[in-house]
Amino acid sequence: MRRSSLLLCLFSFLAILPSSFSARPNVLIIVADDLGYHDVGFQGSKDIPTPHLDRLAASGVRCTNGYVSHPFCSPTRAGLMTGRYQHRFGHENNPVWLPEDTKQGLPLDQTTLPQLMKKAGYATGAVGKWHLGAHPQFHPMKRGFDEFFGALGGGHVYFPDQKAGAEYTIPLNRNGVDEPQKKYLTEQFGDEASAYIQRHSGQAQPWLLYLAFNAPHTPLQAPESWLEKLAHIADKNRRTYAAMVCALDAAVGQVMARLDATQQLQNTLIFFISDNGGPNLSAKGAGNFTDNSPLRGAKGMVYEGGMRVPFLVSWPAKLKPGIYDRPVIALDILPTAVALAGGEVPQDRVIDGVNLLPYLTGEATGTPHESLFWRSQGPQGIHAMRQGNWKLVHLPGGKPELYDLAADIGESKDLSAEKPEVVTQLTSAITEWEKGTSTPVFGGPREGKTKAKKKAKK
């Protein structure tokens, strides 16, 4: 009798376990690198075909006022991984490729998204570009990921055996072990992400996959097959860049097809963003091959072109397709994912992101953020903030600039002289926000070059 009761309890537990897990979505975060605001079809591009990303946009919510928390690479990723303005913990520059340096990376006292998802019972995997520290203590598998395949630095060559600097030619890394590159890198990352999805199909345990492409970041290298299809683009640099975007789109399509084939698409929450705006490299002789129109500025700037990005959220089982026009930011990814996982965000620190789901479903009618802030180059550097439709930009040595984004998305008309009271209000808000920030922990490439030279002399 007792044995029958125990078996009944066991069978009852097993019966409810899959449904309790399946109610929680898988989470897929796709990050492009240096993608121009206008360089995908759903953003209006006419010369770069991106059918798979366009289909993803049509299936979900396109956030037309979507931002990242920094105008260049690594700090944006640090903010995404923690749900916090990275200025709160000093990750304001790109870490230099110095594997012996224990400071050049995401500080170890910061709790990460994969750690929180793992605690909530999720499998966690990462594929692609890391760029959050070269020292072994910063390895993705030390920061909450069960699996990792990708490039640990800030970029990589796309074809095997291409020549470049040390950081861009290091072996790829699989779960802490070096591995040679096998094919065009964007395609290889697509293969690895698809394989991860396949391995975790049919299982009760939900999963998180962070898929961070290094495309279309330089070096400009693209498969000949894509270059041939884009022969209508006359400028060589623009054509190569466009081919890299097309290869990225194809890899996303491969991943989406695998989700569909394994019957996981409906219950997978998908985010798609770029880590910052497209770069303007004309001063370096490469040509301004990205298109951030109708925005002003580019990567590295706190005008809209630096950190306003293509921003998609899809969850077919729960979200109706449409457009959401209130400001959102990549910091929101962590609290959204953790809430849907049934987990909890840290209570011992400020979490700046918010759970977007109530806003995207219409359950919450307010705005996710009253204000958004940006800073680059430390407390004395570049500042910007957005409050409602007002945008304040303050460059070192210059006077504050004020723009009405509702009427002037291109930030062409400075209204600071006409609205001094708004300038005062927003400047005070920046000053208050600054109280919760710290100075940069590491100085970025310039500091790194100095350290590298000292190391070489020894």
Q: Catalytic residue positions?
A: 73, 131
Query: Which of these, 146, 263, 257, lies nearest to 202 by C-alpha position?
Result: 263
One-letter amino acid for residue 149 of the chain: F
C-alpha span between 203 and 343 (Å, rounded):
20
Query: Which of these, 144, 138, 152, 72, lies nearest to 105 by C-alpha position?
Result: 138
Burial bucket for residue 66 (CB in 10 Å: 0-12, 13-18, 19+): buried
List the structure tokens of 62: 């396109």
Measured over the CA atoms of residue 154, residue 155, residue 161 and residue 162, the dihedral's sign is negative
The pairing of strands 311-314 and 268-274 is antiparallel
260-298 b/e (C-beta count within 10 Å ≥ 16 → b): eebebbebbbbbbbbbbbbbbbeeeeeebbbbbbebbbb
Residues 6+ apart with CB under 8 A from 276: 34, 68, 70, 71, 72, 73, 76, 299, 300, 306, 307, 309
C-alpha span between 85 and 105 (Å, rounded):
15
CB atoms within 10 A of CB 348: 5
The reply to whether omega before 379 is within 30° of 0 (cis) is no
Q: How far is CA 41 from the centre of its chain?
A: 19
CB atoms within 10 A of CB 46: 7
Beta bridge mates, 211 = 30, 127
DSSP 137-199: GG-GGGTT-SEEEEESSS---SSTT----HHHHSPEEETTEEE---S-HHHHHHHHHHHHHHH
One-letter amino acid for residue 291 of the chain: D
List the structure tokens of 421: 């009271």
C-alpha span between 241 and 75 (Å, rounded):
24
List the structure tokens of 36: 């121009």
